[in-house]
Amino acid sequence: MKEGDTSSFPDSFLWACATASYQVEGAAAEDGRGPSVWDTFAHTEGRVRNNDHGDVACDQYHRYAEDVQLMKWLGVKAYRFSVSWSRVFPEGDGETNEAGIAYYERLVDELVANGIQPWLTFFHWDLPQALEDRFGGWRSRETSTRFADYVAFVTRRLSDRVAHYFTINELVCFTDLEYRASFTREDYERAVDTIKEYI
């Protein structure tokens, strides 16, 4: 296949790109967003090379319209993105953050207006820190219950424009990286417990 020649792909082939909220949004402390476990991890000295973090990232929170135009220019027909749970529910549950869900409404509207299908991921590893602190994160059924409430809220707000959803990005990879990095028996058991509670 020659560079730029896509004629060998069927017409039904969907050219797409994908991101995760923590990797691209930035605006970590803006408009009421609560901290996620990734914020805590990245801001812990020595955890990340050069002490890098996602506070600004690619600044998609402010530059989403430019990003959508770049996708359109590339010929992308679908965009898989994740919603930052702690942007919508800063404490993981309870009071919703209207500014947070409004951002995703603007993003989805921009995608649709430019002929790009939104594909939404509900969880791409950025659990609200408040749920980790209160319940131990996914090791508790309490977190699963709050996840169901969060998913229901987001779908009520976006389902008129979003037809495709992913529940979680790479469940096994997520649990393995989070709990088995030190390869202890306790970490392995926590990973198994997390998968059970999530399911």
pLDDT digits (tens, 9 = 90+) for 134-189: 999 988 999 999 999 999 999 999 999 999 999 988 877 766 665 555 455 566 66
Q: What percent of the chain has pLDDT over 70?
A: 84
- Domain regions of the chain by residue span: 16-168
Nearest to 73 by CA among 25, 10, 116: 116
Q: Is the pTM of this model over 0.85?
A: yes
Tokens representing 181 are: 């990095």
104: tokens are: 């995703």
What would the pLDDT profile of 108-119 be if each residue is shown by its tens digit? 999 999 999 999
> What single-letter amino acid sits at 94?
G
8 A C-beta contact, residue 119 and residue 166? yes
- Which of the following CATH numbers is that of domain 16-168: 2.40.30.110, 3.20.20.80, 3.40.50.11810, 3.40.50.300? 3.20.20.80
